[in-house]
Structure 1
Amino acid sequence: MKRYAVLYLATLIVIVPLDFLFLGLVAKGFFTAEVGDMLGEIRTAPAILFYLLYVAGILIFVSSPSDATRQSALLYGALFGLFCYATFELTSLSLLKHWTRPVVLLDVSWW
């Protein structure tokens, strides 16, 4: 149990700053230009819940298999990220008036 708690915290400490760096600096101008009129105030509770659940998913699908090789863990981790972000992006593209294909491609491809 302690191993999973350490893995959970370590993953959270890596993922959150990377995502904030990407969204806040690297792609901020792009997202503002593409979907700026849809952007609102950040809702903290759903954002926190997303990261807590996302990291749990990483641990379940990537870190849990004890017989997994490093290569398979990297592959499953990349696939998990792709599936998670593609699900969000494709749903947004389906439902939101101003969501664009370039936003989908950029946000899905970096994971």
Structure 2
Amino acid sequence: MNRDRERTAVTGRGWLASLLATAVAFGVLDGVWLGIVAGGHYRDALGPLAAEPANVSAAALFYVVYCGGLTYFGTVEGVAARRVAPAALRGGMLGLVAYSTWDLTSLAVIDGFPVGIVPVDIAWGTVASALACGLAAAAVNRLGLGGSPRR
């Protein structure tokens, strides 16, 4: 089967829908993770390294940049292919790279950075990124907001 014929030309509306769906999915997932599931673990592990209160501007900028990256590298690929798997795979790979970069660099240069947080955070970043891109691609595809078939 020729996969090029199955692809969709993603429109501007498709990009915007992909970005919004990715931001909502990742925001909800990360909100549940940090607010309910693992927030206490991070606070306990980071101790005095944790900012109180958190720098909301820096966090917002991270979410804008990261959700843009997830959309570009993951979600839009799934929308163009009209399949969830490419979005989830690419999103997960970006999550693995991005979260590994942060955690391993922090471990290398921040004295006292907790080793125990590293595998948990890398695993979370990988899973959350894969889920966000997969869910977003599924939603955009289901709603038919991606674009039109290439000819």
- The normalised TM-score by structure 1 is 0.89
| Aligned equivalents of 1:25, 1:67: Cα separation in 2 | 34
Select the residue among 64, 73, 93 that pairs with 1:61: 73
1:35-57: CA deviations, max 9, x gaps? 11111121111111110111111
Match of 2:27 in 1: 16
Q: 1:7 to 1:69 in 2, by over 3 A?
A: closer
- State the Cα deviation string for residues 48-89 of structure 1 (Å, max 9, x = none): 111011111111111333347532322111111111111111
Q: Which moved further from structure 2: 81-90 or 27-36?
A: 27-36
TM-score of the aligned structures, taking structure 2 as reference length: 0.67
* Residues 22-101 of structure 1: pairs in structure 2 closer than 5 A: 22-40=33-51, 41-65=53-77, 66-67=80-81, 69-101=83-115
Q: Which runs of 5+ in 1 are unaligned?
A: none
1:91–1:78 CA distance, 2 compared to 1 (3 A): same
Measure, in 2, the Cα distance between the counterparts of 1:52 and 1:14. 13
Distance 1:108 1:68 in 2: 28
CA RMSD of superposed structures (Å):
1.6
Alpha-carbon distance in 2 for matches of 1:73, 1:11? 11
Higher relative contact order (CA 8 A, sep 6+): 2
CA distance in 1: counterparts of 2:33 and 2:81, whole angstroms:
32
Whichever residue aligns with residue 54 of structure 2, its letter is: I
Equivalent pairs counted in the alignment come to 111
| Identity among equivalent pairs (%) | 29
